[in-house]
Structure 1
Amino acid sequence: MNKWAWMSFGTVLVNVVLFFMFRGPDVNLPLMVTVESSLSIIGIVCAVLSKKIIAGTAGFVLNGGVLIVMFFLLLAMGISEP
């Protein structure tokens, strides 16, 4: 694996750590969704730049999964507000 693949996996790890570190009723949720979504997009770009089939696919799927979870969190946040 090259440095782009490691950076892609690193963004997944940072997203998971941030997700579990900053949680609770008093968290700034729009900020967390923005930060984690942008990190996930950076991870997807790094996965594409890695040009390795296995590492690129794994990084793309993992970062895409984080991006989908953040989309559903943003959707639930929009539904719950009056």
Structure 2
Amino acid sequence: MNKWAWTSLGMVFVNFILFLLVRGPNVNLPLVVIVGSSLSIIGIVCAVLSKKIIAGTAGFVVNGGVLIMMFFLLLAMGISQP
């Protein structure tokens, strides 16, 4: 695995740590969604740049899953507001 693949998988790790650290009723959800989505998009770009089949696919799938989770969080946030 090259540095792009490690960076892509590192973005997943950073998103996971962000998810664990920023919790509670007083959290700024739009900021969490923006930061998480940005890190996930950067991870997808790094996975594409890695040009390794297995590492690139793994990084793309896992970062895509995080991006989908952030989309559902944004959707739930929009539904809950009056």
TM norm. shorter chain > 0.5: yes
**Which residue of 1 is the match for residue 80 of structure 2?**
80
CA RMSD of aligned residues (A): 0.3
**Which residue of 2 is the match for residue 36 of structure 1?**
36
Residues of 2 paired with 1:28 and 1:11: CA distance? Answer: 21
Gaps of 5+ in 1: none
TM-superposition CA deviations, 1:37-81 (whole Å, max 9, x none): 000000000000000000000000000000000000000000000
**Which residue of 2 is the match for residue 68 of structure 1?**
68
The total of aligned residue pairs comes to 82
Where has structure 1 moved over 4 Å in runs of 4 or more?
Answer: none
Q: Secondary structure at the match of 2:24?
A: coil
Gaps of 5+ in 2: none
- TM-score, length-scaled by structure 1: 0.99
**Which residue of 2 is the match for residue 27 of structure 1?**
27
